[in-house]
A = this chain, B = another copy of it.
C-alpha cells in the first residue's frame, strides 16, 4: 500500500497537504495534534481522508486534541463521529474508533484525591486550623489541615526549572510544567506548609476514605497522613485560614462535630492511637512501575525480615 509509507510507525509527522498531522502510538492508536486554525470545511475533508487512510492501515482509536483556541473545529469533529474523552481548562480531547467492534479506549480519570494531615509536636499537641471558606466556615470547628493533590507539582524547584527552560524553548516549558502529578506525601507536606507555615516530613498514611458523587458524578479519595513536624512556630496563611494553633489531641477529638460524625470520630481515634504508638499505618516505599521507569510509591505496612 503506497499510503502506508506516508505515515511511518516511529512518531514521524505527516505533512502531506491531504492528511492531518499525526503520530502513531504502540497500541494501534493515532494521535492528531492540530497546531493551527483552519477552515471548518477543509478540516472536515482532511479528517475524512485521514480516517480513510488510517482504516486501510488497520488503525483503531483516533485521539484528537483541540486547544481552546481551536474551538471552531469541535463541531465538525463531532459531526464526523468523534466524541468527548476528557477536557482540561486549555484543551478538549476527542476520540474516534475506526473498527466495527466496541472500543477499548482507556477511561477518563474518575477520582479527585485529597489529603488530611496529622501533625503532633513533642508536647502531644495537634496542629489544627479553621478555614475562611467552605462548609466549615463560621462553625468554629477545628480541623486537620487538608488540601487537594495537584495534577502538576508546584514546587519552587519546578518554578526555577520552568524559568530556566522558558529561556530555551516554550515547548519544553510545557513539558516540565506538565511532567508529573503530585505524590500524596508531597501534597500533605505542601498543604501544612501553605496553611500553617510548619515544615514537616512524611511518616505514613494512617487511613483513607473513598466517597462518591462529591462533584458531578466524580468520586473522592482522601488520605489521612501522619507528618513529623520539623518547625513549630505557626505562620498562618491569611487568604484561606481564619486561625491555626497547636491543640491537645483529646481537645480536638472531643469536639461535638467530630464525635457526631462516624468518619471524623474514627479518624480522631486512629490519630490518638498513633500518638500513643498503638497503631501502624502504611509508610511509602519508592518503586517504579513495571512497564516503564516512571517513579511510583507503594504504601503498605510490610517490613522485610
Contacts and interface: CB of A to CB of B under 8 A. Distances in A.
A149 B110 contact: yes
Nearest to A107: B148
A267 B215 contact: no
B68 A84 contact: yes
A89 interface: yes
A38 interface: no
A221 interface: yes
Interface in A169-227: 178-181, 183-184, 206-219, 221
A85 interface: yes
Interface string A236-266: 0000000000000000000001000111101
A297 interface: yes
B86 A216 contact: yes
A138 to B, nearest CB: 13
Interface in A134-187: 135, 148-152, 178-181, 183-184
A62 interface: no
B213 A179 contact: yes
A79 to B, nearest CB: 8
Given A87-B85, A296-B210, A297-B209, A111 B108 contact: no
A303 B224 CA distance: 17
Contact of A210 (B85, B152, B183): B183
Nearest to A265: B287
Q: Identify which of A133, A221, A291, A295 gathers the most chain B CB atoms within 10 Å of its CB.
A: A221
Given A181-B218, A266-B302, A267-B298, A83 B109 contact: no
Interface of A: 68, 71-72, 74-75, 78-79, 83-93, 104, 106-113, 133, 135, 148-152, 178-181, 183-184, 206-219, 221, 257, 261-264, 266-267, 269-270, 273, 279-282, 285, 287-291, 294-302, 304
30 contacts: A71-B79, A72-B75, A84-B88, A84-B89, A86-B218, A87-B92, A87-B108, A88-B108, A107-B148, A107-B150, A109-B109, A109-B110, A110-B151, A111-B149, A111-B181, A113-B219, A113-B221, A151-B218, A180-B213, A181-B212, A181-B219, A209-B298, A210-B296, A211-B296, A211-B297, A212-B296, A214-B294, A262-B287, A262-B288, A263-B287
